[in-house]
Chain A
Amino acid sequence: MSDLSQAAAEALRLIVGGDPKLLDIVLLSLRVSLTAVVFACVVGLPLGATVAVSRFPGRRTVVVVLNAFMGLPPVVVGLLVYLLLSRAGPLGAMGLLFTPTAMVIAQAILITPIIAALSRQVVEDAWAEYRDQLRSLGERRFGAVMTMLWDLRFSLVIIVLAGFGRAAAEVGAVMIVGGNIDGVTRVMTTAIALETSKGDLPLALGLGIVLLTIVLALNAAADIVKDTAQRRYG
């Protein structure tokens, strides 16, 4: 117990004191995960909305696959990206392995299905209400997809956050493709895993507190935005 309270006190001192090492790790984590979220949204939101408003052969299979891929194990994604980017792999010449870019790729692959599958569900539920009206106005598929995404923006914020939470919290994929190199590819989750195994509990705990705080703060902010926006726009 005293171990825990000691570690907690030390962790708080690191956070409040703005420990540069801790700060670097936090900033890299945010950079990697936020970039991955941006790419996952650019692909996942239109993909989910397009499936939602379209009818085509094999659609149910696509929906099942998207839903199943929400549960992709991070280590498996890490392994696949590793194989792609390793020297002998098809993209090996680009020299991306063990760089933040590799981590962005792995996390984006991990969360794109989450964002696509959840937005597919949200858009499809609303589509029942919008379909006849938009078709009556003469809207085509691409326009309908964009209109739906914009009109449901407050509901989709939660999905984007779920994606970010998953990206920021996973450890397996970034560990494999980033390598947890000090000062280069070390992020919060890989640092926590390492420091814990080394016995440096204050740094691990401090990072854990920061990680939780970021996720909590983001969700609180999103909730406030969603709430005020919904009251304003209905």
Chain B
Amino acid sequence: MTSAMRAPRSLLPLRLDDVVFAIGVRRVIDRVSLTLEAGRRTVIVGPNGAGKSVLLRLCHGLLQPTSGTIAWNALELPGEPRRQAMVFQLPVLLRRSALANIVYALAVARVRTEHREARAREALRKVGLDPLATHPARVLSGGEQQRVALARAWALNPEVLFLDEPTANLDPGATHEIERVIGAMHAAGTKIVLVTHNLGQARRLGDEILFMHQGRLLERASADRFFKQPASPEAAQFLEGELPW
């Protein structure tokens, strides 16, 4: 690599310091401090209303914290192509073909016009949807739509991929396929940060687990340790399938 092609400073680690996100007087996120490093797949678990999705949106910049700081290692300037991507519970695809959806995302990311289609086709191939490239995206099945959303994220070569319950609405077959793609993206070097309330999925995909409860980060542990021996009583109850009040 020549010096002119010097790699930009890595986006990670991401540091959250004393982050609070409040709606009115209710703290949806309550003083969370945390550092996310490159590499390991981070899975955020916790009961409904624990603030998992909000935490993800704060990290991705879709929400601004009420107080506290969220800082990437490299500054993301507004207007510059994003180096992080997010896949939502319900994929939002545009009324155009699957391929055109990815080409669109590449255009927003200012990828040169002549490279867009090849990159989009390659991404669709990697999620196994190249035969459906010209199909209108919105009439694909739920699982296929989510794979298009993943292909769109993959085509952007993000350093970090946030996933918010990506398989919550999918059947086991589609879920398996989505998990395969997430694993492949991780193997290709993308940091994975996944929110799920599916403990089986957390076991399958997680290297480390963040356990959230009532807006607070109660526990952070390797997946092995978390599932064998959770440190907090709330996590233990959550794992037993009880409702921790």
Binding site for B on A (CB under 8 A): 129-130, 132-133, 135-140, 143, 147, 151, 153-154, 232-234
Residues of B within 8 A of A138 (CB): 80-82, 108-109
Q: Is B92 an interface residue (CB 8 A)?
A: yes
For B79, the chain A residues whose CB sits under 8 A away are 140
Q: A133-B92, A136-B60 are in contact. Are A234 and B138 (CB under 8 A)?
A: yes
- Contacts between chains A and B (CB distance < 8 A), count: 50
Most chain B CB within 10 A, of A129, A136, A140, is at A136
Given contacts A137-B105, A137-B108, A138-B109, contact A233 B62 (CB under 8 A): no
Report which of B88, B94, B137 forms a contact with A147, defined as CB distance below 8 A: B94
Contact B57 A234 (CB under 8 A): no
- Chain A's nearest CB lies how many Å from the CB of B193? 13
Q: What's the interface size class on B, roughly?
A: 20 to 34
Using CB atoms, name the residue of chain B closest to A138.
B82
With A130-B92, A147-B94, A151-B94: A232-B139 Cβ-Cβ less than 8 Å? yes
Complex Cα spacing A136 to B109, Å: 11
- Chain A's nearest CB lies how many Å from the CB of B26? 21
Q: Contact between B82 and A137 (Cβ–Cβ < 8 Å)?
A: yes
**Chain B: CB-nearest residue to A143:** B108
How distant is the Cα of A84 from the Cα of B174 in the complex, in angstroms? 64
Q: Across the interface, do B108 and A233 meet the contact criterion of CB distance under 8 Å?
A: no
Starting from the known contacts A139-B108, A151-B96, 7 additional A-B residue pairs (CB-CB under 8 Å) come to A132-B86, A133-B92, A137-B85, A137-B109, A138-B80, A153-B95, A233-B95
User: Is there contact, CB below 8 Å, between B108 and A234?
Assistant: no
- A153 CA to B94 CA, complexed, in Å: 11
How far in angstroms is the closest Cβ of chain A from B103? 12
> CA A18 – CA B88 in complex, angstroms?
59
- Can you show 18 pairs from A to B with CB atoms below 8 A apart? A132-B62, A132-B92, A136-B62, A136-B86, A136-B88, A137-B82, A137-B85, A137-B105, A137-B108, A137-B109, A137-B156, A138-B80, A138-B81, A143-B108, A147-B94, A233-B139, A234-B95, A234-B137
What is the CB-to-nearest-CB distance from B59 to chain A, in angstroms, rounded to a whole number? 12
Task: Decide: A129 near B92, CB < 8 A? Known: A135-B62, A233-B138, A234-B136.
Answer: yes
Known: A132-B62, A133-B88. A151 touches B108 (CB 8 A): no
A135-B62, A138-B81, A233-B139 known; A151 vs B95 contact (CB < 8 Å): yes
